[in-house]
Each structure stands twice: as structure tokens, then as C-alpha cells.
Amino acid sequence: MYDAIVVGAGPGGYACAISLAKGGANVCIIERNGLGGTCTQRGCIPTKYLHAMGDLARRVRASKRHGIGDGTISINYDMLSAGMKSTISRIASGMRLQLRQHNVDTISGEASVISPGIVEVDGARYETRNVVLATGSMPKTIDLPGYETLTTDSVFELQSLPESILVIGGGYSGCEFASILNALGCRVWLAEAQGSLLPGQPKIVGDTVEKYMKLDGISVFTGATANVHDGRIVVGREEMDPEVVLASVGRYPALDADRLDMLGVKYGDSGIVVDARMQTSADSIYAVGDVTGVYELAHVATRQGEVAADNILGRHTRIDYTTIPYCVFTYPEVAMVGRLDGSAATVQMVANAKANCMGQTRGFASVYTGDGTLQGALIVGAHASEIIGEAALAIRLGLRPQDVVNTIHAHPTLPEALADAAAAAARMQEAKKACPGPE
């Protein structure tokens, strides 16, 4: 008898299993398609590996103007792909070792939850006191007659880099793939049906990403859909014949509706319904990660898994979504956290010493304040994903801009841009106190 069986070994399921084991529970985790789930096998890890290689290619091309080499590169995609797969394997192996060290039983196969107390895998049945559903999500696709369309999963199965590619969908995945493939030498078109890239985020974010993409030679179309006419694809007023089409149009939760109905687990179009404890509508059944449809972010899934584990262990923990960092790995990177409204103070990355030393002065840092405290931050620039952690902590702790300013930052470093933005926000606050507006 297990204390818990976790179905799915992605970031949420893995974190849940490890947390349960650390708490003394007897745990089993079941995965059908590689430890780490979509994040490790077909998402975060391979994408960010390619992003790093794309960044290296960009820096080599730029090296000529600094007196280093002639700026030419050649890409051996076989070696690049092998490095990506090796990285995936290494990370998955590390996860397997961690599970083994914490005495978590690992089963490979297709799981079927027969009841809240029984899970079946390939005909074998296992008893448990709790079940955690961490089955993830699947990519949506589209049909363009005459063109084979890849998904954000199958794109990693390419045997060679295409000469040209049309990316349909300008959300975070579409923007990342467009940027990475362009950096690796592909001719790229990017089409987004909404009025700006990264729909759902402040327009300044999508507009800034679009500006830099166009400077890098990517053809970006917003407010436009792709159609086939006379055997060629038409986007807006432009006709094209890409070698490859990549659909990056969202994902849907990987769930078995009939099985959930039988178990009494409520769900909707976005996924399984859970409360702040990650509890479903059925006793002893929890759900975490993409299958809940709350956020499609690995770090959110991880935290959900930890919260579910705490509640199974009787610790009564609730999840807090107020300070979730959101990162887009384009060139430059985009990172944001908190509420991006209220009073904003902005500094340009060109004013940052380290950015100038790196030759990467694109972007800006903005902080948003309300009621005297930090409530949001937006960073566009090199390594923005690594700078945003300080902002997330400051917002979560309810710090004032002056608290960030009073924290000594190493020089020259990129995080000084955040401190400079906070200093600008502090000056704005002081000016407002000195000259208050009408009530």
C-alpha cells in the first residue's frame, strides 16, 4: 500500500513525489514517456539548449566587429542535436538518481486510475491512499493542405535545419522558436492572429519583441492568419512557400474525460478543477501541472506539486500565484513578474555598464509601484530571466523601491538595471509626496 501514487513525472509530479518521500511517505511515480515530462523531454530543456546555442551563434557573428575572427559560422545540426539529446538524457538520469535515493518506486508504463485507491499499469494493480494526477498537456495543431505541420513536440525530431520555416502562433513558444531558428540560420516567418505578439501580456512587451525580431531579419505578421491559395501559403498580403510549418498555437490538458467522470473529478475545457490545496472534487485525488490548466509553466507545476505533497502529509498548505515569474527566451530575453500596472519607472539597458561591456544593450528595466511598494517588474534584456528573481522576492516581501536601492549591488552587473529602475521609482514617489495632486 502506497501513501501516494503520482501519475506523471514532469516538473509537478517529480516535485510532488520527492517532497512526499522527504516527508516520510511511501511513494510511487508512474511515467509513460521519459522522466521530466514535456519540460525535460520536449519543452524547456531542449528549447533552452538550442537558445543557448543560438546565442553562441549570434555572438560569434558579432565577434568580427570586436576584432575577433571573421564572424562566419557553420552549423553541424547532427552534433547540435546530439548535444541537445545528451543534455536531456543527463538531466533525466539525475532525476532518476534522485528518485532512487529517496526510495521512490518508479514504474514505466500507461497508468489507469481505477478508483481513488487503485491504479493499474499494464495489468498490474497498485493500492494507494492518495492519487496525484500530473499528466501534463498535449500540443494543438492546425491543418494547412499540402503542408506537413510540426508541433512544438515534433519539431525536435527534425533531422536537419530547414532553410525556411513559418511559425504560426506568436505566444511565448512561437516567439522562442522563431528567434532560435533564425539565430541558427533559418529564414523565418512568424504569424500571430491577435493584434500583437505575446497576446495576454501588456502590448509594450509584444511590440518590443516584434521590433527586435524584425531587426534580426524575422518577418513578423500580427493580426494575420495563414491560408493556402494555389498551393502556397498566404499570410496577410505576403505569399510564401516554407520548407517547414510549425504550429505553436497552444496546448490542451492530457486527460481522460470518461475516467474522470467515473471518478467524480470535475474538469473543464482548460483542465482539471482544483482548489488552492491542489485537491480535486474527489477525495484523495489531487492534480498538478498543465493538466489543471492554471499556468503552463514548469516552475508553477513544481510549486503545485510541493503544495499537493504538503496537504497529503497533513500540512495544510495553499498555493500563492501572486508572484509568478514569466520568461520568454527570445533575443533579448523577456521576464516579468507581478502586476504591470500603476506607476512605472523605466531605465534603458544602454545605460547599464555590464550590458555595454557585453555589447548587448537592447531592452529596458521597468518597475511598477502601488501604495508605496513594488508590485511588478518587466525586464527586456540579456539574461532577464536571471535578473527577475530579485524582483519576485522584493514584490513577495512587499518591499519599497528604496529597499532595493539600499541593497548594494555588485558592479558592473546586469541587475544594477533593476536597482536603477527602483531608484527612478523612489524619486517619483518623493516627487509625488512633495507635489501631491488633487484628491
> Which residues are part of the catalytic machinery?
411
Q: Is 11 exposed, middle or buried (0-12, 13-18, 19+ CB in 10 A)?
A: buried
Q: Cell numbers 514504474 label which residue?
A: 107
C-alpha cell at 102: 529517496
- Read off the amino acid at residue 184: L
**Strand ranges (E), 158-290:** 164-168, 187-192, 219-222, 226-229, 232-235, 238-240, 244-247, 251-253, 267-268, 271-272, 285-287
Q: How far is CA 293 from each of CA 128, 199, 252, rounded to the nearest angstrom?
A: 25, 17, 8
Contact 391, 422 (CB under 8 A): no
**φ, ψ of residue 90 in degrees (nearest 5):** -65, -40
Contact 211, 364 (CB under 8 A): no
Beta-bridged to residue 227, according to DSSP, are: 234
DSSP string, 347-386: EEGGG-HHHHHHT----EEEEEEETTEEEEEEEEETTHHH
C-alpha span between 79 and 145 (Å, rounded): 33
Contact 132, 265 (CB under 8 A): no
| HSE-up (13 A, CA, CB side) for residue 33 | 14
Q: Which of 431, 426, 435 is nearest to 399 (CA)?
A: 426
Contact 117, 284 (CB under 8 A): yes
C-alpha cell at 136: 501534463
- Read off the amino acid at residue 15: A
Q: Is 136 helix (H, G, I), strand (E, B) or coil?
A: coil
C-alpha span between 114 and 112 (Å, rounded): 6
DSSP string, 58-116: HHHHHGGGGTSS-S-----HHHHHHHHHHHHHHHHHHHHHHHHHTT-EEEES-EEEEET
